[in-house]
A and B are shown apart, each in its own frame.
Chain A
């Protein structure tokens, strides 16, 4: 069945360093992926998305990389700031699977000063 999982439950980085959050998915039919950021007590906030016809997409300080061969997704955050501390979720949808997002369990990013 389809599943989205995260390699690391907690990631600690120093302020100013780059962060890389990884995500694996199992359904080769998945073709749309989203990263969300969730701060404590708040709803998920959209960060960046990517479709399966792309390998890389960049936003402001964030880059998403997609490796369809190994079914792996990563979120890179440049010059990590204290405000980046949150739980990060990857999510997927697939063609013909409706609009329901399937989420992983999340990675807690902690930024150390």
Chain B
């Protein structure tokens, strides 16, 4: 079956512009996660959605970052007034239920964001 998909695969933007990154989770998966991977670094948790519960936003680095998940499926991560330090690979993952911390998360290919 289809895995997690993300778009665009690459995005180049100018400092100060807003960007939107999209994630389509695996069909039927309830939970959706966003992570950021900076050059040569591990993955950093950003935000987590599970069903109709309030999202866990504890990993968002600043108020310039926000995310939505409409209809319990597709999610959009928005970065406002981008800065050069926002350059990274943004990875989305999904899991079937999200009601257990011991559940495998399946990752998409990522969006590579470069802020000039």
Contact = CB atoms under 8 A, between A and B. Distances in A.
A101 B43 contact: yes
Interface residues of B, number: 30
A49 B106 CA distance: 12
Contacts, number: 73
Given A43-B4, A94-B101, A99 B106 contact: no
A93 B109 contact: no
A10 to B, nearest CB: 12
B109 A100 contact: no
Interface string A3-16: 01000000000000
A45 B33 contact: no
Given A41-B109, A49-B102, A100-B58, 19 more contacts: A34-B104, A43-B91, A43-B93, A44-B107, A46-B104, A49-B104, A91-B43, A93-B102, A99-B31, A99-B48, A99-B95, A99-B100, A99-B101, A99-B103, A100-B56, A101-B35, A104-B42, A105-B40, A106-B42
